[in-house]
């Protein structure tokens, strides 16, 4: 995956997940009200910023671990 593709993936995935999760979590707290929309609108940018930073820091480690888990046991024992 190219660096450009990785950055776009991080930005788009974090946008979608922050949008959906912040919306769902505030919906559970407030129900379908005007207050819910206002709180969601305030919380989403914070959630997205946090998601981008955390993903940029954690994604490489998750990929490495997923790659390790996907290898055969024989190959894993050679890595260790």
Confidence of residue 62 (pLDDT cuts 50, 70, 90): confident
Q: Treating both helix axes as pointing N-terminal to C-terminal, what angle do 3-30 and 34-70 enclose, rounded to 10 degrees?
A: 140
Query: Is a pLDDT exceeding 90 seen at residue 20?
Result: yes
d(CA 56, CA 48): 12
pTM score above 0.95: no
* Token pair of 53 as six digits: 């930073």
Q: Which residues, 6+ apart, have CB-to-CB distance to 28 below 8 Å?
A: none
């Amino acid at each position: 995956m190219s660096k450009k593709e990785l950055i776009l993936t991080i930005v788009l995935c974090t946008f979608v997940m922050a949008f959906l999760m912040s919306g769902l979590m505030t919906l559970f707290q407030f129900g379908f009200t005007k207050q819910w929309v206002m709180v969601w609108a305030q919380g989403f940018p914070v959630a997205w910023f946090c998601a981008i930073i955390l993903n940029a820091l954690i994604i490489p480690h998750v990929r490495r671990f997923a790659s390790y888990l996907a290898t055969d046991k024989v190959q894993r024992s050679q890595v260790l």
